[in-house]
Structure 1
Amino acid sequence: MTAADSWFIVVIGYAILLAWPVSTLGLVSFAVRYVASHRKSLVAKSLAYGDATPEHFWIIVPALNEEVVVGNTVHAALGLGGPGGTLARVLVVDDGSDDRTPEVLAAIDHPRLVVLRRELPEARQGKGEALNAAYRYIAERTAEAGVSPERVVIGIIDGDGQGSRNILLEVSRMMRDPNIGAVQVQVRIRNRDKLLGAVQDLEFAAIVNACQSLRDTIDTVGLGGNGQFTRLAALLALGDAPWSACLVEDLELGLRMHLDGVGIRYTSRAAVTQQAVVDLRRLTRQRTRWAQGNLQCARYLRRLMASPRIGLTSLLEMLHYLISPWLNALVTVILIGGVSVAATGLAVGHPMPYLPTWRQLAYSGEVWLAVTLFPGFVWALVHRHRLRDESLPRLFTAALAYPVFLLLGLVATYRALFRQASGRQTWAKTERLAEEPIDAPLQIPVPA
């Protein structure tokens, strides 16, 4: 290897390392300075386009063995109110539960609660099929009542989810614009007293929030599995089964809506909370399922690139969202491989020109560590600046653990690739943690 080759490798290596903190600073700068003004322009636009404010709200709660959490979720959802005092109807899809979920639901006597029980073999075909069954029920009731599907909104709140009191009001505000067919609200973590929970809240409340806010400015907002709200009319346009068997049915639904020209918006002024997965093995399993679902959605790349409805900027962001996890995993392996080769060369007396001494290798390791830790601390400061509901010491502790969290994500990415290649599609349900009972929506802090 020549000296020129050595310098080329060094320059490329440091460029890759610095790309992450530089992009983090760019995203943070956008999130802090630009989002507020952009939201004002969206509100002005919605008022200019007329009044398509929703008048009817359904909350679907998919439930499979949710006995320890579904009672709180239903009570919280029944307490949600929309414009003019409109109250949501709650439809729980009991997807063949064999625990005490049916008994818990039967004990809730409320006129706005509907329980749709699915039995085997129809049950347990995936969350998408459960949502489709609920959607068809709501579509039938809407048609029977002679209500316009443009005025009906269906929200998805998971079995462990609880929405902020203002969630329907904020969704209605965003959907005043008739061109907006779906809204995704911010996601927060409730049990963030544990370290893994704190790291996941840092991820959702700071990083994902900033990414979704950026996508909101270029019409590429993605839908999440929890806290998505969609006009019934937009779902009807997608046929009898808008949700698929994809492992991330929410991501696929968002892609289909973008291809159909449906506007999707994101808001951080309302939130839905959920439980963190606080066991490393189960968290890895969850993230592997998400990564495998991301891989399954790669089949939409050709249609996205060919769609006349999607501009170049929006297309590039969608491609980045679908491809970046796999590029990150590949680049990480290349960097680790390069350092390993250099260390082996030093150990056997044949040093590589790009890292000729142990001192330079140690210096590179220090740079690596600093670059890896830097983004987590930046996002901790963003979290504190936006929400002010966690102390800096706790946020900095979560920032220290963030690189391990990212390493877990890389492991999940490779596991997902292996599972997809081997045709494995089945998944065990995420376990829930028992909580104190509630009978009303929580007052969840959201930014002003």
Structure 2
Amino acid sequence: MSLIEYLFIASLIIIWVVILVNIVLGIGGYLYSKEMDNTWIDTQLEYYPMVSIMVPAHNEGIVIEKTVRSLLSFDYPVDRYEVIVINDNSTDDSAKTLKCIQDEGHPVCLKVINTDAVTGGKGKSNALNIGYKESVGEFIAIYDADNTPEKKALLYLVTTLVRDDKLGAVIGKFRTRNKEHNLLTKFVNIETLFFQWMAQAGRWKLLKLCTIPGTNFILRRRIIDEIGGWDTKALAEDTEISFRMYRMGYRIMFMPKAVTWEQEPQTIKVWLKQRTRWAKGNIYVIFKDLKYVFDPKSGPVKFDIIYFTAIYIFGLTASVVSDVLFIFGLTHLITINVVGYSLILWFLAYVVYILSISMALMLEKGELYAENILIAMLMYFTYSKLWAVVTLMGLYHYIKDRILKTEVKWYKTERF
């Protein structure tokens, strides 16, 4: 066989390895979903711990009022939680909006920390560290500035964490508020459901692993004290702190009954910028923690490092390579004698991809219908391929920043 044929077969093997891992995780997600359906969560506690909810925000005037009012309306004792908004170097009317809410005199304590380019403006991790110094809670909850959590979300997070000392954090589920806006938001809606029911629920059920998603989660104060705060060099501060918790021996649990609704990008330009930041941040974490793959004491960190590397580096590369070579082979631009046999494997991979997404949609009430299946079929050839571009851009910016020693700054997602 020629080098091109070996490359084509290798890419198919990598794709199938990733698919098979995801099938196993999908089965785990299904089992966990059924387990949750049959589980009643007792939200009555003898003692309700003090919770500090932190909201890092930079020029979030469009969405911040709705978010803060949602956070002030939780079904949780009003004297047992506080809301801290870190209005970080904003140049819009966020400070004025937040001051108006404060002046209304809510029973829940609302703290607003306004920073400028000198005292803040250095990214989400730095903003969280600033807010943490002003917090008093035994538990710390984090919400992004565009979130509208359901009333019982905090209660589900707290009661789950309180009852298991092995848990370092509990994460909730996030849903797409603007999923019907256009085709892109419909893609994102399906992607987020697939990720949460496969990677989050599946890993929790089978491996007792989860990754903090950046919003709608709660963790123990003592963990932040022990690790010294958030890594200000990390763009994906959620993934980074997850790995540090693993190494401390804690677990991170997925609690799908704790739901928040968030706004997703509505244009390709905004989506690319946001996802490139995610990819760059996760690449930083992968390289930072790669050494733990060879550490016998690293425990579950190994699986996640290998899993994220497979997804971000090998899986996406193999997907693009196989598709390009397959098309070139069919159009006779190159000669690949194994195309005929591989067509069956390629088609089966596509079918399994659709079935996996369908399973995730089935687990979310009201999401399994014909239009979503058709959108999922289209995603393979369009949206999924964009992730390869995102990964390359993320890797480029990671290397560039390492060489130039660029300081971390806010990468704000445009709101609509």
Which category describes the TM-score, using the shorter chain as reference length? 0.7 to 0.9
The answer to whether the aligner puts 1:332 opposite 2:316 as a matched pair is no
> Is contact 2:320–2:388 with CA below 8 Å preserved after alignment?
no
Aligned counterparts of 1:6 and 1:258: Cα–Cα separation in 2: 41
The one of 152, 171, 175 aligned to 1:188? 175
The answer to whether the aligner puts 1:382 opposite 2:360 as a matched pair is yes
**CA offsets per residue over residues 232-264 of structure 1, 9 Å max, x none?**
11111112x334331111111111111122232
The Cα shift of 1:23 comes to 4.0
Structure 1 segment 54-93 matched on structure 2, within 5 A: 55-82=49-76, 87-93=80-86
Secondary structure at 2:54's aligned position in 1?
A: strand
The structure with the larger Rg is: 1
2:94 is matched with 101
Secondary structure at 1:28's aligned position in 2?
A: helix
Cα 1:10–1:315 change in 2 (3 A) is closer
Q: Which amino acid aligns with 1:418?
A: Y
Aligned counterparts of 1:189 and 1:52: Cα–Cα separation in 2: 34
Aligned counterparts of 1:184 and 1:68: Cα–Cα separation in 2: 26
Structure 1 segment 45-444 matched on structure 2, within 5 A: 55-82=49-76, 87-108=80-101, 109-111=104-106, 112-138=109-135, 142=136, 152-175=138-161, 176-194=163-181, 195-217=183-205, 218-239=207-228, 241-298=229-286, 299-303=288-292, 305-306=294-295, 308=297, 310-311=298-299, 315-336=302-323, 338-339=325-326, 342=329, 346-347=332-333, 351-355=335-339, 360=340, 368=346, 371-372=349-350, 374-376=352-354, 378-383=356-361, 385-390=362-367, 392-403=369-380, 404-423=382-401, 428-433=411-416
Cα 1:410–1:10 change in 2 (3 A) is closer
Gaps of 5+ in 2: none
Aligned counterparts of 1:89 and 1:103: Cα–Cα separation in 2: 20
Aligned counterparts of 1:429 and 1:12: Cα–Cα separation in 2: 38
Cα 1:68–1:8 change in 2 (3 A) is closer
Gaps of 5+ in 1: 45-50, 143-148, 434-448
Equivalent pairs: percent with the same residue? 22
> Is contact 2:74–2:153 with CA below 8 Å preserved after alignment?
yes
Aligned counterparts of 1:128 and 1:336: Cα–Cα separation in 2: 38
Aligned counterparts of 1:79 and 1:70: Cα–Cα separation in 2: 14
Q: Which amino acid aligns with 1:119?
A: D
> Is contact 2:89–2:121 with CA below 8 Å preserved after alignment?
yes
> Is contact 2:8–2:325 with CA below 8 Å preserved after alignment?
no
Aligned counterparts of 2:47 and 2:350: Cα–Cα separation in 1: 45
Cα 1:184–1:347 change in 2 (3 A) is closer
**CA offsets per residue over residues 67-102 of structure 1, 9 Å max, x none?**
1110000000001133x6765311110001111111
The Cα shift of 1:114 comes to 0.8
The Cα shift of 1:117 comes to 0.8
Cα 1:55–1:303 change in 2 (3 A) is same
The Cα shift of 1:17 comes to 4.7
Q: Which amino acid aligns with 1:332?
A: S
> Is contact 1:199–1:399 with CA below 8 Å preserved after alignment?
yes
Cα 1:428–1:263 change in 2 (3 A) is closer
The Cα shift of 1:307 comes to 5.9
Q: Which amino acid aligns with 2:384?
A: L
The Cα shift of 1:164 comes to 1.7
Aligned counterparts of 1:157 and 1:71: Cα–Cα separation in 2: 13
2:30 is matched with 32
> Is contact 2:230–2:237 with CA below 8 Å preserved after alignment?
no
The Cα shift of 1:412 comes to 0.4
Secondary structure at 1:107's aligned position in 2?
A: helix
